[in-house]
Amino acid sequence: MKGKSVIYTELFLQDATRLMQPEQVLHFVNFKYSFRSANQTIPIEMGISTHLISDWKEIGSFHRLISVDTSKIPKDSKIEEHHGIQFDDPRLCTDHNQIVEDFNNYIVSFKAPIIFVVKRKETHNPNVECLMFLLSQSHVQLPEYYFIRENMLIAFIAKHFDITLPLGPYSFLMSISNKIGSVQRCDLHKEMEGKSCAIDVARVGALSFYIILAHMNVILTNKEGLPKIELRENQKIKTKNEQKEDLKKDEERVKKSKDEILKDREDRKRKKEEERKQKAKLEILQEKNEKIDKTEKNEKSVKVEIEKPEILKDSRVAEILAKVDLKKEVLHFFDFEFSDGETSVVPVELGISSYRITENKEINYFHCLLSPPSLCENMDRAVTCHGIDYTSLLLEKNYKKIIERFEEYFSQFHQDYIILVLKDETIGGDFVCFEKIFEWAGETMNANFVFLTHEMLLREIGMLEGWKSTVVKEYDTLMNEVYKQLHVVERCQYHKCVADKYHCGLEDARHTALTVLIALNDLNFPVTGKENLPHCIVHKREVKNLDNWRVLITTCASTGNRMIVEVGFTEFFFQPQGEMVTGNSLFYRFQQTERILKKKDEPSDIIEKFNAFISQSDNTMIVLTSLGMMKKLEFLKLRQFPVLEMSEFMQLFVSRISPFKKSHGLLSKAKKQVIKTLKVGKCALHPSGIEECPFTTNTIVGYTLNFLNASLLKEKEEVLEV
């Protein structure tokens, strides 16, 4: 082993003064490895988060992706893939010696002694083994350093300050880490779901350590900004006096007779029931009072809201809008499709659709596909989301010519100000895309461009028409739902040839215009040609309970770049008497391919089959098993139905039988019980490397809901008998 002596022991910690100095530096280290055997552990990613022991804020970080020579790994060995990193990814560093040299330069820049804090509780720690492997591949000599496991460090500090921990150090750290979830992932892992990131794990470990120190109330001198994690009663760290008081209470309880214990239990039960009833009465009264107050406030504030309109953040925009007549002005609804670059967004397509808000008729449109000046940028999103082959000859590279076409298009309207409306909550990425095109062309953007979001436009029209601000805010949300239902307009020539799942800039711009017109029409704003507006469900039915509803449990599996792999639906029916009936299921695995799907290759018959299954009943509600799934399933007609997250559904599920029972955590606890007795494997066609299997998830959720339903009904019967 190269370098000075490497000490892997906790014995040096007996010298407390050496560690407890406020300026002592701790390096929280985490490695992800691709292969591990008795002889070696081969790393593929390393992350270090550096802190002072007295301050939770990060003072430095180090991160590297490490190339793996798979030819040196035995053929019959299992290669780990939970890290989500492809072995042939060009971002992996092949020069191990350079990695160790950079690592050495990093750690020696901090004050000695060098202490590495690692996760896991095994004696043979894989983080240590990974570092040993890297050192064996390099001639760089490291200074003396020390390892200590996180749980041992917490245990030592607790012992030094005579603090008794309520849980074992390892369990305590894991409990806090689970509540934190994630801090900051590397660029590669930001777009991956369910894949662990080395630097993020190191940061979570460090944050967990400092949160426990804060609860111990030792060493940590700077707590400002430290996230507050509430501990359960059995996790709270108590002083010696508090522990003595608890011990006295336990001794007194043990001394009581059996009859006294039963009497105390009944008294507590009765008191708790009285408090629950009182709380329920107060909630009902409070709800009534809030409704009365809200009605009175709305009636009083209508005039004030009309007289004092909300001023737009950009005063220049407000001044310009005051000069133009929005009912007569041509508005240019636009959308950019872009890819994520190394430092900024990279526009690849622009679509503009020009309308007047008083007429359902497109006046003209503009469209172009853009070739970025450099293909060194990350263009994955251009392919997977937009279906744009960035090597295609159809992409335009003459940016000056694009700007000329652009200006020629707007000149036909003879406008003092060009009002550009985008479908987004903020003017962000699309505005940057405009700047990029002008920057590539070496031109300056016109000063007469005015950028609005569709929500800002509706608010401006609302003020002119004298609508209540509450109504306008409601339609802000409704417009998002309407937009997602639209699949009706003509796409650009390029996107007519590729599968419908790919986003088209011109199509999205046209849908933005129609979304605004549909919302205005629903608000009784005069729109010529309104009879030809596409049908959309603007006001979805509000879900107050599950009685007579058809519930579709919805799951999908996808790759890190949002490519759909599998989709699954399982239907359940709920009767007013509390009965729950499991219906049919529909699962499908899509063909995985890196190439752009052509229109003829798209499984349109399968998508039609899914949409027919979804639309079997008007009383259908969609329940998503995980967050962020809706963006991946926009190619299906889900938006016309109420869409609930699993937590919202569980509140309705539990309250239909036990109105006062809390639903939080109930599903996960029941799942654990079901999984112990029920062995459900992944479907036969499930691809390796994708953790989520819709068949497995839906089957487990189905059994769990049936188990919970039966348990809740049984509890209800027992209460009625009493």
How far apart CA 338 and CA 350 sit, in angstroms, is: 9
Just give the CATH number of 11-240.
3.30.420.10
Asked if 611 and 633 count as a contact pair (C-beta separation under 8 A), the reply is: no
How far apart CA 629 and CA 722 sit, in angstroms, is: 44
How far apart CA 464 and CA 476 sit, in angstroms, is: 17
Q: DSSP string of 157-196?
A: HHHHTT---SS-HHHHHHHHHHHH--S---TTTTT-SS--
Write phi, then psi, for 505 (nearest 5 degrees): -60, -40
> In Å, how far from its chain's centre is CA 191?
10
> In Å, how far from its chain's centre is CA 53?
31
Element (H, E) at 115: strand 114-118
Query: Per DSSP, what are the bridge partners of residue 405?
Result: none
The DSSP symbol for 543 reads -
Asked if 170 and 121 count as a contact pair (C-beta separation under 8 A), the reply is: yes
User: What's the predicted TM-score (pTM) here?
Assistant: 0.50
Is the CATH number of domain 550-721 3.30.1300?
no
Q: Tokens standing for 545?
A: 């309970």
How far apart CA 24 and CA 53 sit, in angstroms, is: 6
Q: Tokens standing for 702?
A: 């189905």
How far apart CA 371 and CA 349 sit, in angstroms, is: 9
Identify the CATH assignment for 315-532 out of 3.40.50.720, 3.30.1180.20, 3.30.565.10, 3.30.420.10.
3.30.420.10
pLDDT in tens, 103-124: 999 999 998 788 889 887 665 6
How far apart CA 4 and CA 107 sit, in angstroms, is: 14
CA distances for 419 relative to 320, 426, 517, 630, 636, angstroms? 10, 15, 16, 31, 32
Q: Tokens standing for 391?
A: 């090597």
All residue ranges of the chain with pLDDT < 70 are: 1-18, 38, 74-82, 121-124, 193-194, 233-235, 239-240, 243-244, 246-259, 280-281, 283-316, 340-344, 374-384, 391, 560-562, 592-602, 680-691, 718-722
Question: Closest Cα to residue 351, out of 372, 338, 333, 363?
Answer: 333
How far apart CA 262 and CA 265 sit, in angstroms, is: 5
How far apart CA 54 and CA 277 sit, in angstroms, is: 48
Q: DSSP string of 243-303?
A: HHHHHHHHHHHHHS-HHHHHHHHHHHHHHHHHHHHHHHHHHHHHHHHHHHHHHHHHHHHHH
Question: Closest Cα to residue 297, out of 468, 536, 477, 95?
Answer: 468
Q: Do the domains 315-532 and 11-240 match in fold?
A: yes
SS3 of residue 550 by DSSP:
strand
- What is the distance between the terminal CA atoms of the chain, rounded to a whole angstrom? 73
pLDDT in tens, 324-338: 888 889 999 999 888
Q: How many residues does the chain have?
A: 722
Q: Would you kindly state where each structural domain of the chain is located, as residue ranges?
A: 11-240, 256-307, 315-532, 550-721
Question: Closest Cα to residue 32, out of 172, 192, 262?
Answer: 192
Torsion, CA 544, CA 545, CA 548, CA 549, rounded to 10: 80
How far apart CA 419 and CA 312 sit, in angstroms, is: 15
Query: Per DSSP, what are the bridge partners of residue 567?
Result: 556, 588
Sign of CA dihedral 170, 173, 176, 178: negative
Query: Per DSSP, what are the bridge partners of residue 589?
Result: 566
> In Å, how far from its chain's centre is CA 479?
22
Q: Tokens standing for 389?
A: 């082959």
Write phi, then psi, for 390 (nearest 5 degrees): -70, 0
Give helix 150-160 / helix 198-216 axis angle, nearest 10°.
10
Write phi, then psi, for 194 (nearest 5 degrees): 75, 10
Question: Closest Cα to residue 680, out of 591, 568, 578, 552?
Answer: 568
The DSSP symbol for 109 reads T
Please name the residue ranges forming H helices in 313-396: 315-323, 380-384
Residue 488 has what pLDDT?
80
Q: Are strands 331-340 and 145-149 parallel, antiparallel or unpaired?
A: unpaired
How far apart CA 574 and CA 508 sit, in angstroms, is: 38
Residue 682 has what pLDDT?
62
